[in-house]
Amino acid sequence: MTAALILVVYALAVALLAPPLLARHWPSDRVPRLTVTLLQVLTCSFLVATVAAGLALAFTLVEGLSELSPALDSCADQLPVTDHGSVGTVLGHLGWISAALLSARLLYCLATTFGTARHRRRAHSRVLRMLATRDDELDVLVLDHPAPACYCLPGDVVITTGALERLSAQQLEAVLLHERAHLSGRHHLIIALATAIRRTIPPIRLLAYAERETRRLVELIADDAAVAETSAPTVAAALAVIGTAHTPSLITI
């Protein structure tokens, strides 16, 4: 019971306190990579703590499970509600049922999120094979479209003829560096994980905050990679030409 209480307190503290504390006091824009990692740790630990709390209740309060270990059985006998009472039994069963349901929900969200994203990317790739042409010099797929846009799919960067016409050589380099930073950082997987976790328990503010910040921060990471090889004014000018179309929408959910 003590372990379950500690886990519940931790899960509640992270869920309620982490978003406002990070938003007000954490320099996320200065350390985007570290922040993305921190958000992954917080959200995953929240889910693990929630599932573990349910299992701790089950192993302590469900008759038969607590008897698997002398230590668990001793703990159960000292609690105000025990595995021999109706209240303790109900709490124990609620614990393992909630742990099982949350685990199943998480696995379902992971499978559907990654599966849907993979299906969409494959469908889009099939369309690109028919409509786009490869530029071997730039190592990109060129789509004949007047709107300036650039995005990436795992393994490929796609750019429109409109973007090639409007971007200078330096700006084009910055845009391509931005998109290739997404590919090298496997940002589509990071975003998919954050999305799947958010879908597991949508009302939890921490999970929604983590997904939103992850999407924003991977853009900063890609911008930083482009700035490191070119310059901040060049990247800013390139993004002004591309506008919001530079966002790698095809690798997100």
| pTM of structure | 0.83
pLDDT on residue 3: 73
From the centroid of its chain, how far is CA 251? 12
According to the model, what pLDDT value does residue 248 have? 42
When pLDDT is cut at 50, 70 and 90, the band that residue 61 belongs to is low
User: How far is the C-alpha of 37 from the C-alpha of 40, rounded, in Å?
Assistant: 5
Phi/psi at 133 (5° precision): -120, 150
Average pLDDT taken over every residue of the chain: 86
State the pLDDT at residue 74: 53
pLDDT score at 95: 80
Check residue 252 and give its pLDDT: 39
Q: How many Cα neighbours within 13 Å face the side chain of 245?
A: 16
- Tell me the sheet residues that pair with 6: none
For the ranges 38-47, 132-141, 224-233, 237-246, the lowest mean pLDDT is seen at 237-246
Domain extents for the chain?
A: 2-251
First to last CA, the chain: 39
According to DSSP, the residues that pair with 133 across neighbouring strands are 142
Q: Once rounded to an integer, what is the mean pLDDT over residues 153-157?
A: 90
- Least Cα distance to 67 among 84, 80, 50 occurs for 84
List, in sequence order, every residue forming a beta bridge with 152; answer none if it has no partner.
157
Mean pLDDT, range 219-237, rounded to an integer: 95
